[in-house]
Amino acid sequence: MSCKTIKKECFKRIVEDVKQIILNPLKDQNIHYVHDEDNFLNGYAMIIGPEDTPYQYGYYFFHFLFPEDYPYSPPVVKYLTNDGYTRFHPNFYRSGKCCLSILNTWKGEEWSSCLTITSILLTLSMVLTKNPLIHEPGIEEGSNDVQVYNEIIEFQNFNHSIRFVLKNKPYFFFTCIPNVTIDKEIFMEECKSHFDKNRKKILNYLESKANISKHELSFNIYNMYSNIIDYPNLYKLIKK
Spatial distance between the Cα atoms of 171 and 215, rounded to a whole number of angstroms: 32
Query: Among all residues, which ones are annotated catalytic?
Result: 99
Residue 50 pLDDT: 97
Give the closest residue to 157 by CA, choosing from 38, 51, 8, 63: 51
Spatial distance between the Cα atoms of 184 and 172, rounded to a whole number of angstroms: 8
The residue ranges of the chain whose pLDDT is under 50 are 1-2
Residue 4 pLDDT: 53
Residue 3 pLDDT: 53
Q: What is the amino acid identity at position 45?
A: A
Spatial distance between the Cα atoms of 154 and 182, rounded to a whole number of angstroms: 30
Domains of the chain: 3-239 (3.10.110.10)
Spatial distance between the Cα atoms of 204 and 70, rounded to a whole number of angstroms: 45
Spatial distance between the Cα atoms of 156 and 121, rounded to a whole number of angstroms: 22
Residue 1 pLDDT: 44
Decide: 47 and 31 in contact? Cβ < 8 Å.
yes
